Each structure stands twice: as C-alpha cells, then as structure tokens.
Amino acid sequence: MKILKQPLMKRVAIAKTVGFIIGIIGFFLIPLIMPDASTMFLVGIILWTTIIGGMIGIMGIMDYHPVLKMKMPACFRGAIVGGSLNLALVMLAYNDMSALMNTATIFAGASPFWLIFDGIIIGIIIDKIATKKAGEGPSLIDGLHPNLEQQQ
C-alpha cells in the first residue's frame, strides 16, 4: 500500500494494530474477572484501545517536550496519552466504571481510577512497539507535503 510508505501513517497503523490486539486480549480476559461485563462493554474496550493506539501513533511526531525542555522518551509519551485518555473515560463514565469494578471478583470495591494505571501500561506498550517499528519525531512527517517549504 502506498500510504504505508509515509512514516507517520505507518506508525499510526502499527499503533492502532497493537491497540486492537490489546483490546482483543481484554475482550477475552475481562469476563474472567468481571463476569457481569456486557458484550457492548467488551466491544467498547476493543474500540477504546484502538483509539488509544491511534492517538499514540499521531503523538509520535513529538519527541521533545516544549514546556519541560526535555526529550520525551516513548515510555513517557505513551504513559501520558494512555493515562489521560483513561482518565477521561473514568470521568465520563464514573458510575458505570464503578459498578463494573464492584462486580469484579478480584477488584471488588476498588476505585475506578485504577483504570488510569491500566491506560499508562497500555500506552507504554503501544508507544514502545510503534517507536521500535516505525520511529518517532519530526522525521515522520518529512516529505509528507513537498510544497510545505515553499509556503513558509
């Protein structure tokens, strides 16, 4: 495919694929610890981890943090994206996540905010694999728009 020759699109495709695979694993493991999890929730997990992968793939062009003035390693970037997206998920669906955590056989009574830690781990895994396979930094967008230099 011609689009996968562009480094950024290759990185996004790899990150989304890894996110999808993690979602499939979650689809089969979650019913073991949360027997009351609905099919809609399980399919949502697949879609959510795929979205996390897509966002991490796009964020791969940032390898330097402008505020902290430091190079951003893949584990830091992936942790920030995965954790913040899961924080948003918990805040948007706190009651549902709390009810699901209470039905879990292992995590009964645990706070749904523990899901942020899951997002951090998932983000690190996705970003490490995407960075290893497709790279990171501004070089991902070099040559993406050949007329970009002429416009500036």
pTM of the complete model: 0.85
Q: Is residue 1 included in any domain, yes or no?
A: no
Report residue 4's pLDDT band, with 50, 70 and 90 as the boundaries. low
Domain interval for residue 103: 6-140
Taking CA atoms, 119 is separated from 11, 80, 85, in Å, by: 19, 9, 7
Q: Is residue 146 included in any domain, yes or no?
A: no
Q: Is residue 147 included in any domain, yes or no?
A: no
Q: Is residue 37 included in any domain, yes or no?
A: yes
**Whole-angstrom distance, CA of residue 91 vs CA of residue 94:** 5
At residue 18, what are phi and psi to the nearest 5 degrees? -65, -40
Question: Does residue 35 or residue 107 have the better pLDDT?
Answer: 35
**Whole-angstrom distance, CA of residue 31 vs CA of residue 38:** 9
Q: How many CB atoms lie within 10 A of CB 70?
A: 10
Q: What is the pLDDT of residues 99-108, one digit of tens each?
A: 778 877 676 6
Total number of domains constituting the chain: 1
Q: Is residue 14 included in any domain, yes or no?
A: yes
Q: Is residue 74 included in any domain, yes or no?
A: yes
Least confident segment among 62-66, 79-83, 91-95, 128-132: 62-66
Q: Is residue 105 included in any domain, yes or no?
A: yes
